[in-house]
Amino acid sequence: MYGDGLFETIAVRDGRPCLWSEHMARLQAGARRLAIPCPPRARLYGECVAVAAGCQHGVVKLVLTRGAGGRGYAPPQSPEPTRILVAYSWPVHPPEWADGGVEAILCRTALGEQPRLAGIKHLNRLEQVLARAEWEDPQIAEGILCDGRGRVIGGTMSNLFLVAGGRLLTPRIDRCGVAGTVRTLVLARAETFGLEPIEADLRLEDLAQAEGAFFTNALIGAWPLRALGPLRFDLARLPSALITGIRRLAHHPTPEELA
Amino acid sequence: MYGDGLFETIAVRDGRPCLWSEHMARLQAGARRLAIPCPPRARLYGECVAVAAGCQHGVVKLVLTRGAGGRGYAPPQSPEPTRILVAYSWPVHPPEWADGGVEAILCRTALGEQPRLAGIKHLNRLEQVLARAEWEDPQIAEGILCDGRGRVIGGTMSNLFLVAGGRLLTPRIDRCGVAGTVRTLVLARAETFGLEPIEADLRLEDLAQAEGAFFTNALIGAWPLRALGPLRFDLARLPSALITGIRRLAHHPTPEELA
């Protein structure tokens, strides 16, 4: 009734979830923030693998809600969380997006600031639904969202990174935005790509002046940004190993012994 | 999956909904804002009466969602909205609250500002769940919420009104907050109670200096505020006809010819 829960959208390869550790870390952080008891990781891993059975290349969406309760906003005294796991086929995108880059628009919808909910992947996603409804053109891959003060926060379904002067910049997500699993991974590994990772308040000027930019999420891995409205980016200026390296890290199945 | 819908919590008397016109006006405004096709009022009235059949004194919750769609945030091309109507028993509160007033707390949870969603009764209600979880004491009737800039917005499940110098003040709800059905009615009828209705930016100082204050919603009608933490209000300073008058207006069943 109230979007009172969390979700994870998990890439599956060879019947196994990718980025399992990052997904579980975020789910557990969200559950703590919302005071929803989180089922044990091993149980969720088993359920994910069961739902993904026989899937070479797909998606499992895991939803965790506070469970059944009364009519009002008061949470139940002893919540029994509900788990919903659904398998989906792998989303099909134009093949040139992965290496040739994507076109994005700047959304008019501005994100509200709510530090209590920022970073976690909760189910109150009307802002994203409104933003995604701003375009229908299938050539547009993503929409970029700012907060009400003009700070760039990310895509409707992805995080955004800028490369500038040996630095890898990404928006802070402590007032709005989501701590993407690939975002976490890229920040942790930035130095192996020869880049200094920095979380910062970024504006559209920073994006316009960057050498390059890319979107990340668990399904796309990384998509270079080719065009944002009239703004064009020269993909040759993005470190060539970066995008393919991120994709390789993001789409590596997690074996049971590491789950 | 995304709280992508709207709801109305409707008082039922003698098998008929109260404040039908106000509930439908808000539902239709919310549906326009979210671009969800709204079923005809007459159909919803019939369904509400059917669900409330034989109910002398109860509640019907009406939920309208965008309906089934794909995995991502893109809304379906031809949405077929889902209607959910559930009957609940009338909530039991200590009988002295209605005339003797209620005790409230000031919530630590601050509301985020999102003009695109302000006013409508959408299903993204995690802020209210977090705020309502701040107290368990059954003697506390309501929690008062401010926005991040310290402006008072209302209760977790109600609107707030202040009486001061012949004026009836209530917070603006164009950045956050909900346009309560009783709030709408009270603003429209304020002058019949000899008060000038004013929507304003209000702060806790305004509340502390008011002659009196009360909460409104479709189920409680109106509850005078007796105590907010250490702050006490002299209920004798609230116009005596106001609270009972609001309750009478709020709990009047809507006959079919006016639906």
Q: What is the pLDDT of residues A123-170, one digit of tens each?
A: 999 999 999 999 999 999 999 999 999 999 999 999 999 999 999 999
Q: In whole angstroms, what is the distance from residue A223 CA to residue A216 CA?
A: 7
Residues from chain A that touch B124, judged by Cβ atoms under 8 A, are: 2-3, 124-126
Q: Which of B123, B124, B147 to mutate to test the interface with A (most CBs of A within 10 A)?
A: B124
pTM listed for this prediction: 0.96
Annotate B126-143 with b (16+ C-beta within 10 A) or e (fewer).
Answer: bbbbbbbbebeeeeebbb
Q: Report pLDDT for B148.
A: 96
The answer to whether residue B63 neighbours chain A at the CB level (below 8 Å) is yes
The answer to whether residue A134 neighbours chain B at the CB level (below 8 Å) is no
Q: Do A5-90 and A96-250 show the same overall fold? A: no
Q: In whole angstroms, what is the distance from residue B29 CA to residue B244 CA?
A: 29
Rounded to the nearest 10 degrees, the angle between the axes of helix A240-250 and helix A181-189 is 130
Q: In whole angstroms, what is the distance from residue B83 CA to residue B44 CA?
A: 9
The answer to whether residue A229 neighbours chain B at the CB level (below 8 Å) is no
Residue A256 corresponds to which tokens in the numbers above? Answer: 């049971």
Question: Per CATH, which fold does B96-250 belong to?
Answer: D-amino Acid Aminotransferase; Chain A, domain 2 (3.20.10)
Does residue A256 register a pLDDT over 90?
A: no
Sequential pLDDT tens for chain B (259 residues): 899 999 999 999 999 999 999 999 999 999 999 999 999 999 999 999 999 998 999 999 999 999 998 889 999 888 899 999 999 999 999 999 999 999 999 999 999 999 999 999 999 999 999 999 999 999 999 999 999 999 999 999 999 999 999 999 999 999 999 999 999 999 999 999 999 999 999 999 999 999 999 999 999 999 999 999 999 999 999 988 999 999 999 999 998 888 8
Bridge-based pairing of strands A102-111 and A221-228 is parallel
Q: Report pLDDT for B240.
A: 80
User: Looking at residues A198-224, what average pLDDT do you find?
Assistant: 97
Q: In whole angstroms, what is the distance from residue B111 CA to residue B148 CA?
A: 6
Q: Which of B33, B60, B73 to mutate to test the interface with A (most CBs of A within 10 A)?
A: B73
- How far are the Cα atoms of A104, A236, B5, B39, B120 from residue B79, in angstroms, in the given order? 25, 42, 12, 12, 20
Residue B83 β-bridge partners: B64
Residue B7 corresponds to which tokens in the numbers above? Answer: 């709801």
Q: Tell me the percentage of chain A whose pLDDT exceeds 70.
A: 100
ipTM > 0.90 for the complex? yes
Q: Report pLDDT for B242.
A: 95
Query: What number of residues does chain A have?
Result: 259
Bridge-based pairing of strands A212-217 and A57-65 is unpaired
- Residue pLDDT, tens place only, A2-28: 999 999 999 999 999 999 999 999 999
Shortest Cα distance from B3 to chain A (angstroms)?
Answer: 5
User: Looking at residues A213-242, what average pLDDT do you find?
Assistant: 95
Phi, psi (degrees; rounded to nearest 5) at A122: -85, 175
User: From the centroid of its chain, how far is CA A103?
Assistant: 18
Residue B92 corresponds to which tokens in the numbers above? Answer: 């039991």
- Residue pLDDT, tens place only, A178-189: 999 999 999 999
Residue whose entry in the numeric block shows the structure tokens 């309208």: B64
Tell me if B210 sits within 8 A of B160, measured CB to CB. no
Pick among 3.30.365.10, 3.40.50.1360, 3.40.50.620, 3.30.470.10: CATH of A5-90 = 3.30.470.10
Q: In whole angstroms, what is the distance from residue A50 CA to residue A72 CA?
A: 35
DSSP letters spanning A127-180: HHHHHHTT---TTEEEEEEEETTS-EEEESSSEEEEEETTEEEEE--SSSSB--
Residue B54 corresponds to which tokens in the numbers above? Answer: 């034989």
Q: How many CB atoms lie within 10 A of CB A80?
A: 10
Phi, psi (degrees; rounded to nearest 5) at B111: -75, 140
Q: In whole angstroms, what is the distance from residue A246 CA to residue B243 CA?
A: 62
User: Looking at residues A83-95, what average pLDDT do you find?
Assistant: 96
Rounded to the nearest 10 degrees, the angle between the axes of helix B20-34 and helix B181-189 is 120
User: From the centroid of its chain, how far is CA A72?
Assistant: 31
Q: In whole angstroms, what is the distance from residue A76 CA to residue A35 CA?
A: 11
Dihedral, B212, B158, B188, B231 alpha carbons, nearest 10: 10
Does residue A69 register a pLDDT over 90?
A: no
In 3D, which of A129, A252, A173, A155 has the Cα closest to residue B4? A129
Residues from chain A that touch B176, judged by Cβ atoms under 8 A, are: 112
The answer to whether residue B75 neighbours chain A at the CB level (below 8 Å) is yes
The answer to whether residue B125 neighbours chain A at the CB level (below 8 Å) is yes
Domain positions in chain B are 5-93, 96-250
Helix (H) or strand (E) holding B108: strand B102-111
Residue whose entry in the numeric block shows the structure tokens 């701003």: A134
Tell me if B57 sits within 8 A of B15, measured CB to CB. no
Helix runs in chain A, H state only: 20-34, 41-51, 96-100, 126-132, 181-189, 204-209, 240-250
Q: Report pLDDT for B117.
A: 98
By CB atoms closer than 10 A (0-12, 13-18, 19+), residue B149 is exposed
Q: Do A2 and B4 touch (CB under 8 A)?
A: no
Strand, coil or helix: what is B67?
coil
Q: Do A113 and B72 touch (CB under 8 A)?
A: no
Q: Report pLDDT for B189.
A: 96
Residue type, B71: R
Task: Give me the residue from B61, B112, B131 closest to A113, CB to CB.
Answer: B112
Q: Look up the CATH number of domain B5-93.
A: 3.30.470.10
Q: Do B34 and A130 touch (CB under 8 A)?
A: yes
Q: In whole angstroms, what is the distance from residue B36 CA to residue B235 CA?
A: 43
Q: In whole angstroms, what is the distance from residue A78 CA to residue A64 CA?
A: 15
Residue A161 β-bridge partners: A214
